[in-house]
Chains A and B, each alone.
Chain A
Amino acid sequence: MPPLSIVIWLPALAGLLGALAPGSRERNTSSGAIALAGALATFGLSIWLIAGYDPHTSLSDVTDTVWIGALGIHYKLGVDGLNVFLVALTTLLFAATMLASNIRLAREGIARARSYFFFLALGESAVLGAFLAQDLALFVAFFDLMLIPFYFLIGMFGTRQRVRATLKLVIYTLVGSLLMLAGAVATGVLASQQHGTPITFALSSLEHLRLARGSQEWIFLFFAAAFLVKMPLFPLQGWMPDGYRAMPTEVVMVFSGVLSKVGAYGFLAIVLPLFPQAAVHFQMLMLLLALISILYGSALAFTQTDARLIAGYSSVAQMGFITLGIFALDPQGAQGALLGMINHGLVVAPIFFIIALLARRAGGSEDIRDMGGIAFRAPVLATLFLVVALATLAMPGSANFVGELLILLGAFKAKLPIAIIAFAGVVMAAVYALRLFITAMHNRVGEKVSSFELSRAEGSVLAPLVAVILFFAFYPQLALSRSEGSVDAALAPARAALREPSAPPPVAATPQAPASSGGQEAQGAEEAAEGSGAR
């Protein structure tokens, strides 16, 4: 098994090497090739991780060293059933993105290509770090770091209205992230005060240092703000339309495919185990937000004509389903949500790539009214697109179907009315996915359309992704069986809290406790901090 630090930092290292590679500024193919090699190697390592993962251990391949001793922050990484497939998804989609970017570089050149590949690779490292971090402070650091490379990627290489779009994106995202930073510090500090232990941010320790209910609730809201923006979910999706339209196609592939999953993963791996009582308290709120996202996302997805926004709003709906599964607080629902995350990543990235291919055939327009009749001269592209579209609408037989079924099963057990309304989302998915496919590929041939077949290079991006979709359609059990134990463990505290909702809070401490009364505890925390500093 590879050390996880290598998995995380290999892409960034390759990106850095690529950035130092000699060559011209516009067509710096060597920098792209080096970054691609790094991404492919990382993908190989992640397959190795899956192959070597033993579902019976709780956390494997642990790397644990002190990062900031005085604050009790560890550089702790580990693989469990929750993140092992998401890591593989990340590396797969980033490799596809790197390949797609290399194709664009070869075809039309990318100004300042070295910076482009460096930031893209740095983004991959940050996402992998967020998935693998097993220390709350480290997770927050990676989560916040994730935004910076994408800020540059969109701002430097984006298309329409990019400066405005990036500002909006960054403000939305960082409002959430920084609130989460305050929440994370408070979690560590309050946990150590309420239990009189040395300050620590390790997730495995914090799970046992349950916070008082009042503290859990406001910290939950801070974390939820960060994750809801990232996914994005209603009502925090305001950055998404401008952001997705401004991003280069290759960037939006990973942004929608991978970064949105970090939010959902955060709910499952961090919020539920650490703040179970708050999760129960806010269950209804989260389920309603999920439901509204499903309906709102679906409704907008079949009224928009910009193909990117159709895919973007369909993501809002899909992420709504995933949140529904998580906050059903039911093992089946959560497993469905985890499978849903993988599925959504696998379908949304090819869709965005296909949209770019379609736009090239429709005179550069991404409006579906300008497309049409493309399938006639591009049968292979049409076939691949059809597979992806059917997977998106969760056709029975696809892994998406299994995922949505499990999610709805979980939701049925939790809140029946919500599950019934959510069913409408399944139907609407069929409408928007088929509408996108039919208007683009069939119908009357658009005015500016001049269709041609997929090139081999483009096929090499699309075919592997479609192959993985088909693989999971036949064998979703691969992900389900390996994640079962971890999902159950992550849900256990919340399910316990669900069963006895009126349990009295162990310690009644509010964050605004006056300094004088907190003095004793503060003294303890400080001595603890000092002790670890000396070490």
Chain B
Amino acid sequence: MSAALLGALSGPHIEFAGLSPLIALLGGAVVVLLAGVLPPFEAPRARLLPAALALGTIAIALGLTIWQWHAQRSLAGSALRIDGLAVVADVVLLVGAIGAVLLAARSHAGRSRSGAELYALLLSSLAGMFVLIGAQSTVILFLGFELLSIPLYVLCAIERERERSLEAGLKYLIIGSIGGATLLYGLALIYGISGQTSFAGIAQAIAARELATNAMLLGGVALVMVGFAFKASVAPFHQWTPDVYEGAPTPITAFMAVATKVAALGALLRLFDVALIGAQPTWGPGLAALAAVTIIVGNVGALGQASMKRLLAWSAVGQAGYMLAGVVVSTRLGVRATLLYLAAYLFMNLAAFAVVIARERESDLGDSLRGLRGLAASRPLLAWPMTLAMLGLAGIPATVGFVGKFYLIDAAAANGYTWLGVVIVIGSMISLGYYLPVVAAMWMRSERSDEGADEAPSLRVPRPGGASAADGPLPTIAGAQETAEPQPAGAATHPEVALVALLAGAATLFFGIVPGPLFDLVSGAGRGLGLL
């Protein structure tokens, strides 16, 4: 009797091993938050401690994720799933988060008294992304969506004394809430017609009751797509992106640009390619049109932007369009191509944002394009990562961006969407119109002139001792020390920011020449999405 009662009372079997990265992140968030309020850590010297704790947390989560590398099962009563797609996307997310924490470590917000809150919020947002990517049912999907969004709203506004930051936070809150509501409405419609909340159940219902062309289901799918389109800045739901990216503190912008995109696309892949795969012929063309529009709108919008953050925001819209092409084709090839591009996008964007942050801190020109002028002569170690990032985002060979684009076009062409491949290359062509001026500003204009275009490159007085590495094409140790030296123009480049820029830039180049490891990384991603 009592044994039976106990049996009835015990909840679903929870497998802690699979959940361990998520638990680590949430636990870490609590620890970081507590560390910030304890008196011993209020001394200015100790303000880097929350950042260190956050890094440690992410490292632990990364280790635990890799520990679960080959896992392939449902967790917590089929609410979540850990499989190839989830672990690959999680690893990309965590690497991006490490970069973001390093970039934030000595930012204005990161060093202030609210520093600990920043990292705690960042970790909870990360946990939301984990939930979103692993979600196996519409309820959990929405839960993850909100858990990822709410901390981000706060993060955008975390520089409370700066009006633009508050504005960005408010804007993001309003737009994000609309997106969330739309998503929820769509999920409700899908539940209404299929009577299921789990992805597998929805897929079965679509197949069994031939719902592929059902108006209510398609209405639900459209609303869900709109909800995600807000989050992944897919046109025509992208208008918030430039304003929010510009207003938010730059390290947060970097985190949003990289991580939110991974999470939203990871969830889209699972939702569309597992739950809604039966209706693919119906939603495929619509999604393809959306991808094409996004590619064109994003790339055209970026033309002529003078602020680097706005430029990167528009570029992020265009890049979201490229990646959507991988979702459209809904094959394993498409899943892998999307994830590979996400990994490539991570490196390229981290490098770009790290350089923008470095320039913001050392010059008074903020994130404007003018702040990059003459960088190749004065700061080759910042100019090279930025150059590689821009060329990579444009898809030039010998960078990882070329490999990623090649894979996406390959996936599109292999499934009858060759025209979408052509749209991708047209987007790349337009994108050169704004990526190359960034390169030109660094290499072909000098720092002081306004009309640098048509004069001879100014001859600079070589700095003593450092000249040998100063314009060498490859970073050297001597050069790294040189960059860390204080500059007369402003504050020093923080070594961790330069490190992020250099590592991400080097990865952009390395994986462009030796893409094998990245392909190995994503090769397992189609695994376990059984329904494809």
Binding site for B on A (CB under 8 A): 16, 19-20, 22-26, 67-71, 111-112, 114-115, 118, 137, 140-142, 144-145, 148, 151-152, 155-157, 160-164, 166-167, 170-171, 174-175, 178-179, 181-182, 185-186, 188-190, 193, 199, 511-519, 522, 525-526, 529-530, 533-534
Contacts and interface: CB of A to CB of B under 8 A. Distances in A.
A111 B457 contact: yes
A336 to B, nearest CB: 32
Given A70-B523, A170-B436, A525 B454 contact: no
A482 B43 CA distance: 79
A112 to B, nearest CB: 6
Contacts of A515: 280-281, 284, 329, 415-417
A188 B413 CA distance: 9
Contact of A162 (B415, B429, B453, B472): B453
A144 B409 CA distance: 16
B403 interface: yes
B414 A178 contact: no
Contacts of A115: 376, 471, 473
Given A25-B460, A112-B377, A155 B440 contact: yes
A111 B439 CA distance: 18
Nearest to A143: B397
Given A160-B454, A174-B429, 13 more contacts: A20-B476, A25-B462, A118-B473, A141-B397, A141-B398, A164-B453, A167-B436, A178-B425, A178-B429, A181-B405, A185-B413, A512-B419, A534-B523
Contacts of A190: 413, 418
Of B406, B453, B467, chain A has the most CB atoms within 10 Å of the CB of: B406
25 contacts: A19-B472, A20-B468, A20-B476, A22-B468, A70-B407, A112-B377, A114-B471, A144-B396, A161-B453, A162-B444, A163-B440, A163-B445, A163-B454, A166-B440, A167-B440, A170-B436, A174-B428, A174-B432, A178-B395, A178-B428, A181-B406, A189-B414, A199-B414, A522-B331, A526-B332
B365 to A, nearest CB: 20
A69 B516 contact: yes
Contact of B421 (A182, A516, A533): A182
Contacts of B459: 25-26, 111
Interface of B: 280-281, 284, 329, 331-333, 336, 376-377, 391, 395-398, 402-403, 405-407, 409-410, 413-419, 421-422, 424-426, 428-429, 432-433, 436-437, 439-440, 443-445, 453-454, 456-460, 462, 467-468, 470-474, 476, 515-516, 519, 523
Contacts of A69: 516, 519
Contacts of B280: 515
Nearest to B427: A178
B181 to A, nearest CB: 32
A190 B417 CA distance: 12
Contacts of B426: 178
Contacts of B432: 170-171, 174
Contacts of B460: 25
Given A19-B473, A112-B457, A178-B429, A185 B406 contact: yes
A455 to B, nearest CB: 24
A522 B443 contact: no
A23 B470 CA distance: 11
A189 B332 CA distance: 16
Dominant secondary structure at the A interface: helix
Contacts of B473: 16, 19, 114-115, 118
Given A20-B474, A174-B432, A514 B416 contact: yes
A16 B421 CA distance: 35
Contacts of B470: 25
B449 to A, nearest CB: 12
Contacts of A25: 459-460, 462, 467, 470-471
Contacts of B443: 152, 155-156
Nearest to B410: A185
A182 B397 contact: no
A385 to B, nearest CB: 29
B454 A530 contact: no
Contacts of A512: 416, 418-419
Nearest to B402: A141
Contact of A185 (B409, B433, B467, B516): B409
B415 A522 contact: yes
Of A23, A137, A182, chain B has the most CB atoms within 10 Å of the CB of: A182
Nearest 3 interchain pairs by C-beta: A518-B416, A511-B418, A141-B397
B332 to A, nearest CB: 6
A513 B416 contact: yes
A167 B435 CA distance: 11
A106 B456 CA distance: 18
A170 to B, nearest CB: 6
A68 B425 contact: no
Of A171, A515, A525, chain B has the most CB atoms within 10 Å of the CB of: A515
Of A24, A69, A189, chain B has the most CB atoms within 10 Å of the CB of: A189
B396 A145 contact: yes
B324 to A, nearest CB: 15
A186 B413 contact: yes
A511 B439 CA distance: 36
A153 B425 CA distance: 25
A408 to B, nearest CB: 37
A181 B410 CA distance: 10
A511 B395 CA distance: 23
A526 B425 contact: no
Contacts of A68: 403, 515-516, 519
B460 to A, nearest CB: 7
B396 A20 contact: no
A156 B457 contact: yes
Contacts of A519: 415
Contacts of B331: 522, 526
Contacts of B419: 511-512
A142 B402 CA distance: 12
A238 B410 CA distance: 32
B410 A71 contact: yes
A425 B471 CA distance: 47
A112 B439 CA distance: 16
Contacts of B421: 182, 185-186
Given A25-B460, A515-B281, A533 B444 contact: no
Nearest to A26: B459
Of B398, B453, B472, B476, chain A has the most CB atoms within 10 Å of the CB of: B472
